[in-house]
Amino acid sequence: MTADAADRLPEWLHQLRDAIKRVRPEDLSRMLPPDDDNLRESAVLVLFGEGADGPDVLLIERAHDLRSHAGQPAFPGGRVDEGDDGVEAAALREAAEETGLDPAGVQVFALLPPLWLQVSNFSVVPVLAWWRSPSPVGVVDPAECASVHRVPIAELTDPANRLLVRHPLGHVGPAFRVRGLLVWGFTAGLLDRLLAVAGWERPWDHSRVEELRPGGSVGVVR
């Protein structure tokens, strides 16, 4: 990305753009890719836009009958295919396939260090982008995606929408209740770190811990 393109980012993204230049992988997650020849390379698109309710980020809800991560809110993305010209192209292709967005209106401004999705042994590169020319989005293939959402940053930073969830295996991580979704796992962890790095985070109650139901993808019980 050229310096001129970077200057075309909206002012509210400048702090995130500048802060991530100093971010180390361990600042984003404790789950870093191991030295493993069987790692599968993938990418997710963290797409920031400006909608009717202000600055937002694009999330999908995965189909509820998938073999892995069923029903879980996520960033658009997936595995890097042989025909992809790197992780950036893979993230844009997958997002177009899942939501119908037009990649021509998307400006990538940063690639984060690879993170590890242990359950599927994916090395995941978050591709940060600005939606400079928004296009209509929605479910393209119901077999892959149940719903598509532009979630306002203000809802993600609202302390009333923040909590921690305890997985049946015992580990605890951040979560968000927004737009009728429970966002948890890898996606919530990355959102949590990006909000903090960008200086957007507001104080919230870290003692609010709820239990995930077995399977984890359908909600929580108090």
pLDDT in tens, 143-187: 889 999 999 999 999 999 999 999 888 889 999 999 999 999 999
Q: Mind listing the pLDDT tens digit for each residue in 51-83? A: 999 999 999 999 877 655 567 899 999 999 988
Q: What angle do CA 182, 62, 88 make, to 5 degrees?
A: 105
Question: CATH code for 3-153?
Answer: 3.90.79.10
Give the DSSP H or E segment for 19: helix 11-19
The answer to whether 97 and 140 have CB atoms below 8 angstroms apart is: yes
- Residue 19: beta bridge partners? none
Six token digits for residue 171: 């580990």
Per-chain mean pLDDT for the chain:
88
For the entire predicted model, the pTM comes to 0.90
Sorted by where each begins, the domain ranges of the chain are 3-153
The answer to whether 142 and 34 have CB atoms below 8 angstroms apart is: no
